[in-house]
Amino acid sequence: MRQKHAGRYGHIGWDLSAEVSVLTGTIIISIADAQAIQDMFLHRSRFPKPVEFYSTLQILGDNVVVTEGDTWKRHRKICAPSFSEQNNKLVWEESIRVTSEALEAWGDATQTGTSHAADFTMKITLLVLAAASFGRRVSWTDSSGTPPGHSMSFGEAVEVVAHNMAVKVAIPDPLLVLTPHWRRVRRAFAELTQYIQEMISQRQVGDKVVRHDLLSGLLDASTDPADPLLSLSQEELLGNVFIFLMAGHETTANTLAFAMALLALCQDEQEALFQDVQAVLQRAGSAVPRYEDINSFKYTAAVVNETLRLFPPAMGIPKVAAEACTITVGGVGKGEARTSISVPAGTYITMDVNGLHRNPRYWRDPEAFRPARFLAADWPRDAFIAFAAGARGCLGRRFAEVESISFLSLFISRFKIDLTPEYTARPGETIEQQRDRLCDATAAFSMTPLHLPLIFTRRS
């Protein structure tokens, strides 16, 4: 699924490629040049988001991701305060709680494992999200299942929706009864909508207790009696809660699964991470990672960033040229030379996240898993856009970072991660080839690993 930078741009010589649809004549340009991409982030009115590409995220209503212009500004102004320092601390506490419960559920077993790491991390992130986003605190061993009035559990509805949004958009609702799978998808969307409506209604009519979860922050900010323009309709509330749920669940879960696989593959990096985590815990005099020490877990943060560099949730970020313009890019082996092309108004442009993240002009040995590159003071920040950048950068970036650092630091302090026999290196196989085989992925809501079996051995 992941093409190397040289494979797409090497024969062209510049960090730009263009394609023209033979059916529609539509021009699509892909760019892997950091300066050009940052210029587009900076001049966002000239390169707006083509909102028509985001119909799958608009199923329950307009939200901060699918809007542009003044509507987007209103959504962002209302949504941004929810991602507060108090919420970050809550995310950390809930991540530590859920991860601790998961590890305790394995009892005293010296060795355990998972047939697919993403299944394990999906449950972790779902329970953290339920508490830190919606105030629904559920234990790891909770077996209450489907509540009255529902035909699916909250987790099942989220999973089905996350993997079948394209089905919901492409197939008219009356036709979703034609196959068992489509009927399940239709039911999942109805169930998830009902769950979200119930969470909003319960919070709106409940006691005004100070909470720091995202839903509370969103509801507090979404109604301004003095300025109706700073309010959200019920449909917009549904739309934004849906985005919080989808973006906060699957993307982080997949990143954590890829990180565990990369650490299993690169044992020296796993040992470096373990030693760094142990040093932080020893200095703090704590057996459990603490939120006040988050900035000390530098190697853990580097592992997360390096995983996102190699396996970004989105392969590309779409834009459209609102007016005729000129785009200037550099190229591999071109030194300081740059070339410019004229771009007609209406041209679709893809910020090639994968191409930029593997561009040897910015990253030394770009195909290697080397977290330490992010410890350097001068690492190429403009060439890292896993969370986009500029005014439209991901609102949930710190939420995801806090959750990822807390989970990985606790997990690696308790368990060593190894590959199963089927994914050990084959004769003549390079480590990059082994990694590609292990981390084979598909594009769903985000880049999703297909099969990641891992072995976990308890540390003494």
| CA gap 190, 161 in Å, rounded | 10
| Enclosing H/E stretch for 74 | helix 69-79
| CA gap 330, 64 in Å, rounded | 33
**458 close to 415: Cβ distance less than 8 angstroms:** yes
Which residues in 132-146 are b (16+ Cβ under 10 Å) and which e?
A: bbbbbeeebeeeeee
DSSP state of 288: S
Sorted by sequence, the CB contacts under 8 Å of residue 360 that are 6+ apart come out as 5, 6, 332, 366
| Enclosing H/E stretch for 334 | none
Tokens standing for residue 380: 């190429």
- Strand spans (E) along 278-333: 316-320, 325-330
- 426-435's contacts with Cβ under 8 Å and 24+ in sequence apart are 431/265, 431/266, 432/367, 432/368, 434/265, 435/261, 435/262, 435/265, 435/369
Relative to beta strand 348-352, strand 447-449 is unpaired
**328 close to 338: Cβ distance less than 8 angstroms:** yes
What's the length of the chain? Answer: 460
Sorted by sequence, the CB contacts under 8 Å of residue 99 that are 6+ apart come out as 124, 406, 407, 410, 411
Which residue has 């068992």 as its token pair?
Answer: 180
Q: Is 394 annotated as a binding residue?
A: yes
| Enclosing H/E stretch for 338 | strand 338-343
Residue ranges for the binding site for heme?
A: 394
Residue ranges for the binding site?
A: 394
